[in-house]
Chain A
Amino acid sequence: MKKSYPTWTVFSTSCLLSLPLFVFTNMAEAAFLGENSRVSIDMSSRVSSNLDTQNHAFMHVLGIDIHKVFSSDTGDIGTLILQPYVVKLNNVNNPPFIFDDGNATKLTWRIANFNYTALNQGKFNIRLGHFEVPFGLEYQIDTNGTLRQLTAIERGIKADWGLSINGIMPRFEYEVALTQGSGAEINNNDDSHLFSGRIGTLSTKNIVTGLSWLSGDILAANGVIEQKKVALDLSYYYYQWRFMAESSVGKKAGNNVANGFAEVLWRTPKENLSIYTQLRYQRAEIDHNVSSESSSASHWVAGVEWVNDHGFDVSAQYKHKLKEMKNQSIEPILSVQLRYRM
């Protein structure tokens, strides 16, 4: 096992390393990106501790977030978003399959796409690049780089390389995508592909609902896995409270699966402190070819996030099992993250 560095030490080092990066990005913003651009540096360190085994896994991230709107004299042409991030793992058991091992370092693209918006007043846009797969609650809530996650983990894919049409109509919004099914990997050598979409009511309202679907072969650690899913999601906002739920049914590798997700979140009036709890449920056939026997699992998550006026973000989250599936354990994980954007 390689030596683990204390999170605070690595974070401080990242801060020091980011200073020349900050100077560079400011110069880049002025010299190369020009008008209508935004650049920010984003860094974070996270420790996830398995309370049963006392294993401590670390993830350190340093990246640039670039946003640039291209315009003609009388209208916007499109928006470019580029988010290259260097991710360093340290002592991670079962790392995501895109990493060579639990101590690997890798350049990843969180989001990298151009959305062509010049066609029809935002009603019909064309997006090309790496973007979030339009499915369920993930479509309207940004969880990139945060401890708090929604339902992407159930599908094994959050963002993907490809093409989408998207837009906002007077009474609904939509995005329909055809992507590689390879997630973070831009090289697709495994014949994966994914067709996904979501049509929902306006996300500016206090009650938001949507219908999503996906169908395709998604790249995983041992090749591609066929998935077909449909989902309904619902969000309700009431003063400082947010209630969200998503339910999906479908097939994964030929087995029938059903997932349920619910979250309650409360924020202080200044929105610098939020507290949330989530409940997740999954029911899946063990092997459809043998019998229709199925097994279920569930767990709960509780978390807190504090954001200050100067870009610091401190969050903590705890996951605990309610019920485990056969041959699949749910470990009690306590995670703490320190993040800074400048």
Chain B
Amino acid sequence: MNSSAYAAFCSLRDPVSAMQILYKDGYQYRSIVTTVTEQDRLAVKEKLPFTIHQSEVSKHTLYVLYKEGQHAGFLQARSEWAKWGLVEIAWGINLDRSLKGFYFQRCRSPECNDIVVASINKQLQNKSFNELKSLLSANGETLSEIGKKTFKKSPTLALLVLRSGLKTLAITDISWARDIKKIEGS
């Protein structure tokens, strides 16, 4: 992303607030930094009618959550473009790779308030990749008929969040495949 991809590393912050909101207390987190490649970007395009931005071909972090020594989920922060600028969304991911929920790390619209977040989160929680995909139109540019019924409140913001959630699930499975396999095997 333009403004943040070349930011100095001292501005990198762990998504601690997101973990506290999405996973509550008693968790530890471990970072796994990997390089998202151009091949990964093309692989997302095979799963979805859209893909990540070219400037996202760089290093990214997946956080693995542990509770009492056992892995309990994942968290990844992603950036999306809105018409007013960059939106950073931290995604909680369940072990079965359904969505646990999201937290706005940065969204400069007053629409991104706690009530709207709770409303969108309620519809996305515990949905799998295919269930989420069914909420989008075939070209991925709008909500499907089911999606329109699901997100009566703030549909434009819900579309942005939904696309972000789908990209997050896709890129997690693609770019961290080897790491996740290792974690699941342990």
Chain A positions within 8 Å of B, measured between CB atoms, are: 35-38, 40, 42, 65-67, 69, 71-76, 79, 81, 83, 110-111, 117-118, 121-123, 132, 142, 144-145, 167-170, 202, 204, 206, 237-240, 267, 269-272, 307-309, 311, 313, 341
Contact = CB atoms under 8 A, between A and B. Distances in A.
Contact of B81 (A40, A169, A204, A269): A269
A208 B138 CA distance: 40
Contact of B30 (A42, A75, A238): A75
Using C-beta atoms within 8 Å of the partner chain, give the interface range for chain B. 35 or more
A121 B29 contact: yes
Interface in B110-157: 110, 112
B19 A121 contact: yes
Contacts of A73: 30
Interface string B26-69: 01111111000000000000000000001100010100001001
A131 to B, nearest CB: 8
Given A238-B110, A269-B83, A271-B3, 16 more contacts: A35-B33, A42-B8, A67-B9, A76-B14, A76-B29, A83-B9, A118-B28, A121-B27, A122-B16, A122-B29, A145-B8, A168-B20, A204-B103, A240-B108, A307-B3, A311-B5
B117 to A, nearest CB: 12
Identify the 5 closest CB pairs spanning chains A and B, nearest first: A122-B16, A67-B9, A75-B28, A271-B3, A239-B84
Contacts of B10: 65, 81, 83, 110-111, 132, 142, 144
Contacts of A168: 16-17, 20
Contacts of A272: 2-3
Contact of B2 (A75, A118, A167, A307): A307
A69 B2 contact: no
A309 B7 contact: no
A265 B31 CA distance: 33
Interface string B80-116: 0111111000000000000000011111111010000
B59 A38 contact: yes
Nearest to A145: B8
A206 B116 CA distance: 15
A117 B28 CA distance: 10
A142 B8 contact: yes
A239 B85 contact: yes
Contacts of B33: 35-38, 69
Contacts of B9: 38, 40, 65-67, 81, 83
Contacts, number: 132
B106 A204 contact: yes
Contacts of A121: 16, 19-20, 25, 27-29
5 contacts: A74-B66, A74-B71, A76-B29, A204-B17, A240-B84
Q: Which of B3, B25, B86, B112 has the most CB of A within 10 A?
A: B3
Given A74-B66, A307-B3, A204 B20 contact: no
A272 B105 CA distance: 20
B2 A271 contact: yes
Nearest to A141: B11
Given A71-B31, A168-B16, A311 B6 contact: yes
B177 interface: no
A150 to B, nearest CB: 14
Nearest to A170: B20
Contacts of A71: 30-31
A67 B54 CA distance: 23
Contacts of B14: 76, 79, 117, 122
Contacts of B27: 121
Contacts of B109: 239
Nearest to B12: A67
A145 B5 CA distance: 16
Contacts of B107: 206
Given A269-B85, A272-B2, A206 B20 contact: no
Nearest to A66: B9
Given A42-B8, A83-B10, A239-B109, A74 B30 contact: yes
A36 B60 CA distance: 9
A240 to B, nearest CB: 5
B42 to A, nearest CB: 19
A308 B106 CA distance: 21
A76 B8 CA distance: 21
A36 B2 contact: no
Contact of B84 (A66, A83, A117, A269): A269
B17 A69 contact: no
Contact of A144 (B5, B8, B71): B8
